[in-house]
Structure 1
Amino acid sequence: MSAAIQALELSEKKDIIALCGDLAEKFIKRAPKYDKEGSFPVENFQDLKDAGLLGIMIPKEHGGMGADFLTYTKALEQLAMGCSSTALTFNMHNIAVGSIAELNLKGIGGSRGKTMTEFRDWVYDQSISHKKVFASASSEPGIGAHFSKLKTTYKRVEDGFVINGTKSFVSMAGYADYYVVAAKAADSDSEVPAISYLVVEKDHPNTTIDFIWDVLGMRATSTNPVHFKDCFVKKEALFLGSEGMALYKIAREPHWLVGGYVGVYLGISTAAFRFMVDFIKKKKIPGTDTSLSEDPKIQHRVGEIYAALESARTVTYNAAMLVRDKLGSQEANNAIHHAKYVAGELGPWLTSQAIRLCGASSLAKVFPLERYYRDSRCGGLMPATSDECLSYMGKAAFGTDLTKPTETYW
């Protein structure tokens, strides 16, 4: 690759990140309203659509922005600094689209290659030309995102499939245009069940939604249960035309189900840190006209927080680079779990420290710090959970082959 092409690509990546930063400035003004109401950020998603960001991961030759995983991670970080619920739900769209965009289908011939290509092109067209949003429907009651334990089933019928089951945490439920439903083959009882993804339209008559999302943090994600009862979909709804391979794909390349969250939670921590610094600069040492930022003890504690934040940023960016450069390698998979653990645990600690340093007045809802605290509390619960990340890294340290689904937490 010539230096000129490299420079052009670097400039384009910077433009994507800057675009997301500009949108975040708009999002931050709306975030309190969405959080208070628990309403979905429709205006923010319209801005994402208008900016062409539904195709952020789609290659440029197909009309998208062609972002790599590092650029995407930095873009999510920017969006989350404006509205974390918007960033998190935007990531759900890209779990579907991004996982397709990184596939190389040129070497797959015959009818299988044709089917996969047609499905890919349909997803690209829906995202770019029709501005349609895809939602991931995986987690189930009492199971979470443990794919090997899924109870939702599908069975082959004439011209398609029938889905039955309930998904407990479907972000964008009621807003997304399509649900990408993880289900196991009804006749699959093996230790590694045949898990497939099937695409269900939003207004399918055999789906119902329980609008019950009223929680501590990430209140604007509309993460509600969706029920599928004898839900028929055509054979073209089978994700990439591939049946029974999802669990193997997730085990080999877990970054989309794990790594997308990292940029979001890093963004929350970054926003909280910047608020804290600005707040402390304006606050006075009691009984004086001197800024609290000049207190040596405060400087020391802010320095400690800064070191933790920048360490998390380094870990996050390094993991995203490894995904970009060594996709599916154990090194990249270890790094993305490390980053998920660090970012997920950093947020609650950092926001707690910020509250202590800023004082009780910073908890007023006129300020975003208490929202950052609540939203950050969710980070360690998103898949993979903090405990699952530690177990994964521990197994990796002992040399376990984590490409085997039976060796992972899935």
Structure 2
Amino acid sequence: METGSETIAQLAARLGREFAAGAQQADETDSFVAANYAALKDAGLVEAAVPAELGGRGAEIGELCDMIRLIAHGCSSTALAFSMHTHQVAIPAWRWRHQKLAVVEPLLRRVATERIVLLSSGGSDWIGGSGKAEKVEGGYRITARKVFTSGAAAGDILMTGAVLEGETPPKVLHFGVPMKAPEVSVADTWRTLGMRGTGSNDVVVDGLFIPDAGVALARNAGEWHPLFQIIATIAFPLIYAAYLGVAESARDIAVEMAGRKPANPHAISLAGRMDTSLRAAQLAHRHMIATVEENAPSAETVNETMIGRALVAEHAIKAVELALELAGGAGFYRAAGLERRFRDVQGARFHPLQQGPQAAYAGSMALGLPVDKVF
């Protein structure tokens, strides 16, 4: 696909419109949006977050969020799955720019030149870690089942970790898993309420050898590490850009459908409440981006990011609920696209930090209490 002089936002908007045609079929058949990933590669968006000096497009966090959000207007699943690759590139790109970390350069160059797709196993690899790492000669033997691995079928490297046995306190080792290794398989488990086209299947790792040199980090399990402060601060504006895009597209559909009928006070009120909720989500998301742009990840930026994440989730979900009500009975039909967006936006509830831990983190920060083990 020729990119020409299109900006990243223009590319994303155009692709989003193209992806819309197949979004319903992917939803109805639980099919991974593989063709859309091919289009994203052809458009050069796989390397959007790679610094320009390393062969990428050098996009900053705000541009990347717009990319994900605009893709979501057409296909929620593509946007959410692609946000997982995008944040796995944006994090080492940030470390290259701001920490001058040379070790990330080979990976970033591979993304730019080979257009490899990075996977994240999301919540299953959160602060507590998951999976088992057994120390063997020259490295570690890994056994794990990584759930919620969005885009698993299209991935080249799974950025993941495992808990090292026999250590006190328990340690989590971080490394990349080559998806083509014979010890790695994808289990077809993704049958869900929404975001059905993300292909977020389980990845099973059965006895994979990771050499000592392949371990990028060892950290204490169950405690916030500075790297996870970077991850949380940068990743979640990208992930929640997908849900914001879902809410924006639901709003537009509802306004178009409501415009076919004479206005009445009830519809006018619903439209006003819907736009108010959507604006709240948009403003909260802008705050998340502004937090990244401080370029100083810390316990405080995690708090601000997670407050933003909670507000985007709450108000995006509310905006879509109101959109469905504004559209009326016609919106209940699957062909309208609203009920799919209603289901897709529910996924905003389930990423870390979920409602309870987020409130505990924010409350602990407010009262000057430790947050190093709040997750």
Global fold match (TM > 0.5): yes
Alignment of 1:16-27 (within 5 A): 16-27=8-19
1:323 paired residue among 292, 310, 314: 292
* 1:354 CA displacement: 1.8
Question: Which residues of structure 2 form unaligned runs of 5+?
Answer: none
Which string of whole-angstrom CA distances, capped at 9 and with x for unpartnered residues, describes residues 133-187 of structure 1?
A: 11112544xxxx5432x34122443443321122122212232111112212223
Answering whether residue 188 of structure 2 is matched by residue 211 of structure 1, we say yes
Q: Check the 8 A contact 1:34/1:220 in 2, yes or no.
A: yes
* 1:277 CA displacement: 0.5
- State percent identity of aligned pairs: 24
Q: CA RMSD in A?
A: 2.3
**Structure 2 residue identity aligned to 1:242:** L
Which string of whole-angstrom CA distances, capped at 9 and with x for unpartnered residues, describes residues 180-205 of structure 1?
A: 12212223331xx4223211111211
Distance 1:259 1:155, change over 3 A: farther
Distance 1:177 1:157, change over 3 A: same
Q: Check the 8 A contact 2:85/2:120 in 1, yes or no.
A: yes
Which string of whole-angstrom CA distances, capped at 9 and with x for unpartnered residues, describes residues 83-132 of structure 1?
A: 11111111111232111010147977xxxxxxx634x2221232111111
Aligned counterpart, 1:147: 127
**Structure 2 residue identity aligned to 1:302:** A
* 1:235 CA displacement: 4.0
**Structure 1 residue identity aligned to 2:115:** K
CA–CA distance in structure 1, aligned partners of residues 213 and 114 of structure 2: 18
1:297 paired residue among 259, 266, 272: 266
* 1:348 CA displacement: 2.9
Aligned counterpart, 2:218: 243
Alignment of 1:111-260 (within 5 A): 117-118=102-103, 120-140=104-124, 145-148=125-128, 150-190=129-169, 193-238=170-215, 241-244=216-219, 247-253=224-230, 254-260=232-238
CA–CA distance in structure 2, aligned partners of residues 159 and 138 of structure 1: 28
Give the secondary structure class of the aligned counterpart of 2:173.
strand
Aligned counterpart, 1:111: none
Give the secondary structure class of the aligned counterpart of 1:297.
helix
CA–CA distance in structure 2, aligned partners of residues 251 and 396 of structure 1: 17
Question: Which residues of structure 1 form unaligned runs of 5+?
Answer: 1-11, 109-115, 285-290
Q: Check the 8 A contact 1:84/1:264 in 2, yes or no.
A: yes
CA–CA distance in structure 2, aligned partners of residues 401 and 54 of structure 1: 38
CA–CA distance in structure 2, aligned partners of residues 276 and 332 of structure 1: 35
Q: Check the 8 A contact 1:88/1:261 in 2, yes or no.
A: yes
Distance 1:138 1:342, change over 3 A: closer
* 1:233 CA displacement: 2.7
Aligned counterpart, 1:6: none
CA–CA distance in structure 2, aligned partners of residues 272 and 318 of structure 1: 22
Give the secondary structure class of the aligned counterpart of 1:53.
coil
Aligned counterpart, 1:307: 276
Aligned counterpart, 1:54: 46
Q: Check the 8 A contact 1:184/1:244 in 2, yes or no.
A: no
CA–CA distance in structure 2, aligned partners of residues 352 and 319 of structure 1: 23
CA–CA distance in structure 2, aligned partners of residues 296 and 105 of structure 1: 53
Q: Check the 8 A contact 2:274/2:319 in 1, yes or no.
A: yes
Aligned residues: 368
**Structure 2 residue identity aligned to 1:304:** R
* 1:245 CA displacement: 7.2
CA–CA distance in structure 2, aligned partners of residues 395 and 106 of structure 1: 29
Answering whether residue 351 of structure 2 is matched by residue 382 of structure 1, we say yes
1:279 paired residue among 229, 242, 257: 257
Aligned counterpart, 1:34: 26
CA–CA distance in structure 1, aligned partners of residues 141 and 59 of structure 2: 35
Task: Decide which structure has the larger Cα Rg and report it.
Answer: 1
Aligned counterpart, 2:342: 373
Q: Check the 8 A contact 1:340/1:389 in 2, yes or no.
A: no
**Structure 2 residue identity aligned to 1:264:** A
**Structure 1 residue identity aligned to 2:337:** P
Distance 1:386 1:19, change over 3 A: farther
* 1:257 CA displacement: 4.5
Q: Check the 8 A contact 1:217/1:376 in 2, yes or no.
A: yes
Which string of whole-angstrom CA distances, capped at 9 and with x for unpartnered residues, describes residues 234-265 of structure 1?
A: 44533xx3333795035533224533321111
Give the secondary structure class of the aligned counterpart of 2:196.
coil
CA–CA distance in structure 2, aligned partners of residues 75 and 208 of structure 1: 30
**Structure 2 residue identity aligned to 1:87:** A
Q: Check the 8 A contact 1:355/1:363 in 2, yes or no.
A: yes
